[in-house]
Structure 1
């Protein structure tokens, strides 16, 4: 179980006017954000200036990361596709996940060896439920696709440790971070509870250089830095739900948080623009994958 919370820190507003920011990534000196409900991928510089760099054929969920050669990948969740942006800006299908599941896919992370992990999918939800048990699939550099984990309780953010040996996934509906060992072929094994979060509901996550994990929490309106085993090291509070976080900035020690007012799944697509990007100084820089160092593999 988690320990007592440390003193909460407040974050500053970097930019506002987003719908629902998700899947933040630090890449080429800027923060990239999926603006759910609009199909937009937005980049934001350190002064808070934002620009739409790509519009994708998806509204939600969709998430991003990069191949080792620098090409952008986009998970088009409801469409069951992983798209790849080519040099001329066009989008091509990198992987078709529809044969594995008709349920929406959610988050993506590309590790240091070029293995792609995508979560979500899984069996259809039970009547009255928004999500069924989630899965994790692996897409290897040669294009092979296979399921490597199942029964994930609302699969959300994922991160891979710097040595490419451990994948950590947020199980939002189980109030925990779960870890897997990564085999030489990219397969997952030795599933275990990395941190029991008590009443925490982890969404997007990021790993830092001390091996701690930051997780965003929508209902509790904060981001929390936690050590393996559940000890809470730091809390950053917000006045609205925190959906995901990413370590970035010039030295990788700025925590960026995407936050928005939560009004329920049925109101995720609306004209409300309560989404913000927040930032706060972090004690140590980011590490692992998603990486804040562009092109590092």
Structure 2
């Protein structure tokens, strides 16, 4: 039975970015990385020490995912970049969708096999020109494959703990889809996992029991679904635009949540003083340690 959660998220880091997104917890550093898309900025925050670092990206970074060599793979409007926080340098790895200048990359995740799944979207959020891609690293470089299309704003994606299910949101359609991931890395058996009746599904992530956590843009809440799509609980958030969640901390039972100020009227922002900041709360079921993009030997 669906219930309103007793969890009360608190503001962890009052950073007030315009559009916070893409949180990832890096255990080796005990640090949370995230991006502010319109500001083309990458952030790193250490909760224990409250140390905060920032880097200016060459374009709007929508996601950053850790690589086995200590760098990050970043999605930007003109393709995939590598970012090294040790020296702050960026390098352009691959062009994606060169024939769609109105599109940009939006969100991504790493699956248990070390592959990255990411999506694109119409930058004006009007046309269904977005797609879902998978990227592997080979001795010859990045191998990018196209798997689905017709998304206006692709979001998520997220992978089940066993790597057999890929979840993807089409935010304007208020729908979360599920696909079966085949042994060869293809997608099959597309089905609707959940539909929202208020707000738009944004970032999603799975926990260690296969539960799916969905942040709701324009909905002031986070939804927690069972693996079968049953809505288990609703967590109220003190701001309208909730963008994505990452599990971390020593036991992976701390949820870190990015939010946004973009699109919130000034009058409403006065009621949401911490919009655009990082929130956190504790959960009973731990998350999954952040997977890393696997480089070929």
Is TM > 0.5 for Structure 1 vs Structure 2? yes
Tell me how far apart the structure 1 counterparts of residues 51 and 63 of structure 2 sit (CA, whole Å). 18
**TM-score (structure 2 length as normaliser):** 0.83
Give the superposed CA RMSD. Answer: 2.7
Q: Which moved more, 1:85-94 or 1:275-284?
A: 85-94
Unaligned runs of 5+ in 1: 266-271
Residues 44 and 52, structure 2, Cα contact 8 Å, conserved in 1: yes
Residue in 2 aligned with 1:139? 135
Does 1:284 pair with 2:285? yes
Residues 258 and 277, structure 2, Cα contact 8 Å, conserved in 1: yes
SS at match of 1:84: strand
Q: Which moved more, 1:255-264 or 1:11-20?
A: 255-264
Shift of 1:48: 6.9
Unaligned runs of 5+ in 2: 266-272
Q: 1:69 to 1:236 in 2, by over 3 A?
A: same
Q: Which moved more, 1:138-147 or 1:212-221?
A: 138-147
Output one character per residue of 1:131-160: Cα deviation in whole Å (capped at 9) or x when no partner.
434210122222222211112352111111
Output one character per residue of 1:238-273: Cα deviation in whole Å (capped at 9) or x when no partner.
2212111111111111111112334269xxxxxx98
Aligned positions, number: 279
**TM-score (structure 1 length as normaliser):** 0.83
Output one character per residue of 1:124-183: Cα deviation in whole Å (capped at 9) or x when no partner.
86xxx5443421012222222221111235211111122222211122122222111222
Shift of 1:6: 2.7
Q: 1:52 to 1:108 in 2, by over 3 A?
A: same
1:1-297 map, 5 Å: 4-19=2-17, 20-27=19-26, 28=28, 29-47=30-48, 49-59=50-60, 62-76=62-76, 78=77, 80-86=78-84, 88-99=87-98, 101-102=100-101, 103-121=103-121, 130-142=126-138, 143-240=142-239, 241-263=241-263, 274-287=275-288, 291-292=289-290
Tell me how far apart the structure 1 counterparts of residues 262 and 3 of structure 2 sit (CA, whole Å). 23
Residues 115 and 294, structure 2, Cα contact 8 Å, conserved in 1: no
Output one character per residue of 1:73-95: Cα deviation in whole Å (capped at 9) or x when no partner.
1111x2x2100135754222222
Tell me how far apart the structure 2 counterparts of residues 166 and 93 of structure 1 sit (CA, whole Å). 30
Tell me how far apart the structure 1 counterparts of residues 153 and 65 of structure 2 sit (CA, whole Å). 20
Residues 196 and 230, structure 1, Cα contact 8 Å, conserved in 2: no
Tell me how far apart the structure 2 counterparts of residues 100 and 181 of structure 1 sit (CA, whole Å). 29
Q: 1:146 to 1:82 in 2, by over 3 A?
A: same
Q: 1:264 to 1:278 in 2, by over 3 A?
A: closer
